[in-house]
Copies of this chain bind each other. A is one copy, B any other.
Amino acid sequence: MNEAIRGALSAFLRRLLLRSVLSIEERSAVLGLPGNSMQLRSHYDVAFPGRKSEFVCLVAEGLLARSDLGANGARQITSLYIPGDMCDLIASVLPDVSWTVATVSSSTVVEVPRAALLAIAAEYPAIAQALWRDTAVDAAGLGKWIGLLGRRDARERVAHLFCEMGRRMEQIGAGSRWSFQLPMTQEKLGEVVGLTAVHVNRILRAFRETEIMTFKAGRVKVTNGRLLDEIAEFSSEYLMIPNYNL
């Protein structure tokens, strides 16, 4: 059992434990999941339409994105995955996906067989519930994002993205919400918030000039977090961290 695999699985377990209670036995079942780790260059497609995947992949390091490809070629990113995220957990119950999951920066991921995940879910009801809940949190996040794209303007969307990623990074111990690594281009940022790279650039300039935050070479530095949160209408319940056991 490789070190990277153990680390990734325990990060995943930590994530599950944020919202669910699992016994010692159940925890070790999660930690005992099989998997093999892989080093991937950036822009590598992990899953794509037509590929019926036998694996779900867990992020050990780096940044991945799930995106939806329009017929015209325009991409829309629907989720960003950071270390500890079971990327596209959805795919474990819906194996033939209609979207793409790809690395954004060079990353290391752990492939976990779908079958193994379903097996421990079948054996331990509490794990099944935890995975179901994790999928629900994913869905709730997507719902929030729909609200963002449907009703909010460019400033608000961009601000929200940085607020959200800051908290998530902080939560997994990768920097603080005031300063963290987000290894993506402005083009990619645009794909997340539904804007062109040009417009994202102008928004970033405005944030820089008003000393709210800067984004340079994949590093975010927030100078006025209070204002950033305000622009984003960001509330901390957003990420639904509390523990939801009945």
Q: Which of A203-246 contact B (CB under 8 A)?
A: 233, 237-238, 240, 244, 246
> Please, which residue of chain B has its CB at the minimum distance from the CB of A123?
B125
Contact residue among B71, B143, B191, B244 (Cβ-Cβ distance under 8 Å from A66): B143
A140 — which chain B residues lie within 8 A by C-beta? 90, 94, 97-99
Secondary structure type dominating chain A contacts: helix
Contact A133 to B70, CB < 8 A, known contacts A125-B122, A138-B139 = no
> Please, which residue of chain B has its CB at the minimum distance from the CB of A93?
B133
Say yes or no: is A114 at the interface (Cβ < 8 Å to chain B). Answer: yes
Contact A133 B78 (CB under 8 A): no
Contact A121 B114 (CB under 8 A): no
In the bound assembly, the distance between CA atoms of A90 and B68 in angstroms comes to 23
A246 — which chain B residues lie within 8 A by C-beta? 95, 114-115, 118
Chain A: how many interface residues by the 8 Å CB criterion? 56
In the bound assembly, the distance between CA atoms of A238 and B68 in angstroms comes to 12
Say yes or no: is A194 at the interface (Cβ < 8 Å to chain B). Answer: yes
Binds B, one of A3-11, A144-152, A174-182: A144-152
Contact A129 B133 (CB under 8 A): no
Say yes or no: is A131 at the interface (Cβ < 8 Å to chain B). Answer: yes
> Please, which residue of chain B has its CB at the minimum distance from the CB of A191?
B150
Say yes or no: is A74 at the interface (Cβ < 8 Å to chain B). Answer: yes
Say yes or no: is A197 at the interface (Cβ < 8 Å to chain B). Answer: no
In the bound assembly, the distance between CA atoms of A237 and B97 in angstroms comes to 10
A237 — which chain B residues lie within 8 A by C-beta? 98
Chain B CB within 10 A, most for which of A126, A129, A147, A238 = A147
Interface string of A130-165 (1 = CB under 8 A from B): 011101111110111111011110000000000000
A94 — which chain B residues lie within 8 A by C-beta? 133, 136-137, 140, 240, 244
Interchain residue pairs with CB less than 8 A apart (7): A68-B144, A94-B137, A98-B140, A121-B132, A146-B146, A149-B150, A150-B194
List 16 other contacts, CB 8 Å, given A71-B233, A98-B240, A132-B135. Answer: A66-B143, A68-B144, A70-B147, A76-B146, A89-B136, A93-B133, A94-B137, A97-B140, A121-B125, A121-B128, A121-B129, A128-B132, A131-B132, A135-B135, A149-B194, A150-B194
